[in-house]
A and B are shown apart, each in its own frame.
Chain A
Amino acid sequence: MQNLIEGAALVAAPDVLVAILASAIYGLVIGALPGLTATMATALLVPVTFYLSPIAAVATIITASAMAIFSGDIPGCLLRIPGTPASAAYTDEAYAMTRKGQAETALGICLWFSALGGIFGTLALMVVAPALAEIALSFSTFEYFWMALLGLMCATLVARSSPVKAIAAMLIGLLIACIGMENPAGTPRFTFGLSDLLGGVEVIPALVGVFAVAQVMRALLMPEPPPLPRRRFGSILAGQWGLTRRYPKQLMRGNTIGVIVGVLPGAGADMAAWISYATSKKFSKEQAKYGTGHPEGLVESGAANNSAVASSWVPALLFGIPGDTITAIAIGVLYMKGLNPGPTLFTENASSMYALYLIFILANIIMIPFGIMMIRTSTLVLRAPRAAVMPVILLLCAVGAYAIGNNPFAVLLVALFGCLGFVMERNGYPVAAMVLGIVMGSMVEQSFVSSLIKSDGSLLPFVERPISGLLAALTFTALLWPVGVWVVQRLRGRRLRPSGAAE
């Protein structure tokens, strides 16, 4: 209790509060720009933290990353351009809601359930951190292999398309992930002699290309869509309480999946969003509505990616092991500021520890008013003429891609991915599945090859270890799922599926 009060006093310091407010706005803006991710928002903050007190320094990183993950939903919802990879899983769903004239509800869901997920993740961080960390530490490459494979299985579920095409798109993503020398053998593959390809293809240029550039390309060919009903933009939070009461199970499931996936080092908010969206669809009573602007999946995955942001700090704080790229940066800052991660942080620096928790909760609470302001501002683009919005988006694509590594090659990649995404989309290949393949590709191969080396070529440990065996069973269920559906579909005869994708 003493520690809690001391922690609160640390957070209440004026410099900490100013840091939280400033980094909140900063995170919201960065997350909403296509191509600029939560990771980048935090990386750019590092030089600023040199000049801040320890608590203020960590506060900027916590606040900015939480805000950026939420605000990545905004352009996804309004323009079908996810701002961060963590939003890519449900971008189509949110955009479909916007086309149905429910933009405020969709954005409200993203905001409200992001905040709830974030707070839940923080509570998990406070209460069960040591136990969770223990589980995470027992994850060896065998378990990671099944986790990654399970993630790939989501490909057929996230897309509203033919499962065969979804798998094909995912395989294309996996093939792209093969490029470079970041593979277990350290051998350059498919680099065509270009040194720019040695490090592989990063997710961000792919994401910007297949979503943003392809969207501009599509818009060029299509006549201006019928304008959305011109009316006052409704309340953002209205109805959210109703949705919370309607989907409590989905919310809790999203929270839990987010916490579990976030705790695992190497699997962050992106993966949490994919898995929880797929889970939500699979267990829903109204599966046919998915992809047509149905709030259920948004509730679950919106909560999941933000709870993952909080819980990825568990291994970071307890063992100094990064849960994702954001916490990797944060660990550096913690060391620099003398708050060395590890069990001692909990005993010797308990008040700082509580201060961190309070900052998490504070960040998720101020997310709501700040988020509403951000949403209000950005919905202006819905009313702006297309001829004014699209050129700016293309410009942001070019600069955002360049900004990742100050490498002009990324701009070329964005252009190529734009063409690829455009062609795939036109022919019914879900681009989200391809992005999933790029995200997960190296993890599958890395964990498989490492595991085989460790077991001297034996496949037995893949199913022998308890957690590994459980994950294997789950994976095989998911694997046989589309086949089963297809058989049932065939047996029942080709029933007309409800048409609805309003795009």
Chain B
Amino acid sequence: MRLSDRVSGAALVALGGLAAWGGSRLPAVPGQDVGPAVFPMLIGFGLIACGLMIALGVGHAFEAPEEEGGGRSWWHGLWALLPPALLVLYMLLAERIGFLLMAAAMVLVVALAFGARLRLALPLAVLAPLAVHLVFYRLLRVPLPEGLLAAPW
């Protein structure tokens, strides 16, 4: 997701516009001259100004030269969406199938995505969730969902 400054600047202008527009629709509050609308609008205008400056290349000289991340095809970049996607799956499924199974699946997938051999990934997928469960459930008393498979303790 490397974008040119023009694109990211334009995105900021759009975000700022939305913030200012959304802010301006907030109702005033009796007894407050500076109501809830003012700050979102100020921030929105600030974002628009920053976005324009970035699109025009102001301040670019300050940036550290970036190293190139290997010019692979664009779909390679989609790999990066794997961790957030797994987190969303975790949120949706953990209650139902339980922490241990969900966590094991998550660890296994990520480990394999990083190119681990099964010899490493499988023991990791078994041990890491157990260790995390032990610490969070017993020590910190976080109620991790049991689901289909309960922990042995």
Select from chain A the residue with minimum beta-carbon distance to B129: A395
Instruction: Name B's interface SS.
Output: helix
Expressed in whole angstroms, the Cα–Cα distance for A44 and B136 within the complex equals 11
CB pair A422–B142 under 8 Å, yes or no, is no
Q: Within 8 Å of chain A (Cβ to Cβ): is B149?
A: no
Expressed in whole angstroms, the Cα–Cα distance for A171 and B12 within the complex equals 10
Q: Within 8 Å of chain A (Cβ to Cβ): is B148?
A: no
Chain A contacts for B66, CB-based, 8 A: 428
**Smallest CB separation, A221 vs chain B (Å):** 5
Q: Within 8 Å of chain A (Cβ to Cβ): is B152?
A: no
Contact of A412 among B5, B54, B88, B139 (CB under 8 A): B88
Q: A190-B22, A219-B114 are in contact. Are A388 and B91 (CB under 8 A)?
A: no
Chain A contacts for B86, CB-based, 8 A: 394
Q: Which of A83-91, A126-134, A449-457 contacts B (4 or more CB under 8 A)?
A: A449-457
CB pair A168–B12 under 8 Å, yes or no, is yes
Select from chain A the residue with minimum beta-carbon distance to B33: A457
Q: Within 8 Å of chain B (Cβ to Cβ): is A199?
A: no
CB pair B84–A500 under 8 Å, yes or no, is no
Instruction: Name A's interface SS.
Output: helix
**Smallest CB separation, A409 vs chain B (Å):** 8
Q: A161-B62, A395-B103, A426-B1 are in contact. Are A419 and B81 (CB under 8 A)?
A: yes
Q: Which of A246-254, A262-270, A398-406 contacts B (4 or more CB under 8 A)?
A: A398-406
Select from chain B the residue with minimum beta-carbon distance to A428: B63
CB pair A499–B64 under 8 Å, yes or no, is yes
**Smallest CB separation, A137 vs chain B (Å):** 26
Complex interface residues of chain A between 15 and 53 (CB less than 8 A to chain B)? 26, 29-30, 36, 44
Q: Within 8 Å of chain B (Cβ to Cβ): is A202?
A: no
**Smallest CB separation, B43 vs chain A (Å):** 5
Chain A contacts for B23, CB-based, 8 A: 178, 189
**Smallest CB separation, B40 vs chain A (Å):** 5
Expressed in whole angstroms, the Cα–Cα distance for A357 and B74 within the complex equals 59
**Smallest CB separation, A289 vs chain B (Å):** 12
**Smallest CB separation, B90 vs chain A (Å):** 5
Expressed in whole angstroms, the Cα–Cα distance for A409 and B92 within the complex equals 10
Q: A428-B63, A452-B33 are in contact. Are A220 and B82 (CB under 8 A)?
A: yes
**Smallest CB separation, B78 vs chain A (Å):** 10
CB pair A391–B34 under 8 Å, yes or no, is no
Chain A contacts for B35, CB-based, 8 A: 185, 187
Expressed in whole angstroms, the Cα–Cα distance for A220 and B141 within the complex equals 32
Chain B contacts for A392, CB-based, 8 A: 107, 124, 128, 132
The contact string, 1 if C-beta is below 8 Å from chain B, for chain A 168-184, is 10011011001000011
CB pair A390–B110 under 8 Å, yes or no, is yes
Chain B contacts for A44, CB-based, 8 A: 140-141
Complex interface residues of chain B between 45 and 96 (CB less than 8 A to chain A)? 46-47, 50-51, 53-54, 58-66, 69-70, 76-77, 79-88, 90-91, 94-95
Select from chain B the residue with minimum beta-carbon distance to A221: B80
**Smallest CB separation, B92 vs chain A (Å):** 8
Expressed in whole angstroms, the Cα–Cα distance for A497 and B59 within the complex equals 13
Q: A171-B47, A221-B69, A387-B115 are in contact. Are A184 and B120 (CB under 8 A)?
A: no
Expressed in whole angstroms, the Cα–Cα distance for A311 and B95 within the complex equals 42
CB pair A394–B114 under 8 Å, yes or no, is no
Select from chain B the residue with minimum beta-carbon distance to A392: B128
Q: Within 8 Å of chain B (Cβ to Cβ): is A164?
A: yes
Expressed in whole angstroms, the Cα–Cα distance for A457 and B33 within the complex equals 7
Expressed in whole angstroms, the Cα–Cα distance for A500 and B64 within the complex equals 8
Expressed in whole angstroms, the Cα–Cα distance for A414 and B88 within the complex equals 9
Q: A171-B43, A391-B110, A395-B129 are in contact. Are A222 and B69 (CB under 8 A)?
A: yes
Expressed in whole angstroms, the Cα–Cα distance for A171 and B76 within the complex equals 31
Q: Within 8 Å of chain B (Cβ to Cβ): is A239?
A: no
Q: A387-B116, A399-B142, A408-B95 are in contact. Are A394 and B46 (CB under 8 A)?
A: no
The contact string, 1 if C-beta is below 8 Å from chain B, for chain A 255-276, is 0000000000000000000000
Q: Which of A3-11, A69-77, A210-218, A294-302 contacts B (4 or more CB under 8 A)?
A: A210-218
**Smallest CB separation, B46 vs chain A (Å):** 5
**Smallest CB separation, A421 vs chain B (Å):** 10
The 6 closest A-B pairs by CB, nearest first: A387-B116, A387-B114, A391-B110, A164-B59, A162-B59, A168-B50
Interface of A toward B, CB cutoff 8 Å: 26, 29-30, 36, 44, 160-165, 167-168, 171-172, 174-175, 178, 183-187, 189-190, 213, 216-223, 291, 385-388, 390-392, 394-399, 402-403, 406, 408-409, 411-412, 414-416, 418-419, 422-423, 426-429, 444-445, 448-449, 452-453, 457, 486, 489, 494, 497, 499-501
What are 26 contact pairs spanning A and B, CB under 8 A?
A: A164-B53, A164-B59, A167-B50, A168-B12, A171-B16, A171-B46, A184-B32, A185-B32, A187-B29, A187-B36, A213-B84, A218-B80, A222-B69, A223-B70, A387-B116, A391-B110, A399-B132, A406-B143, A408-B91, A412-B91, A423-B3, A427-B2, A427-B3, A427-B5, A449-B32, A497-B61
- Since A171-B50, A412-B91 are in contact, a sample of 6 more A-B pairs with Cβ atoms closer than 8 Å, ordered by chain A residue number, is A164-B54, A178-B40, A217-B82, A409-B91, A411-B91, A452-B33
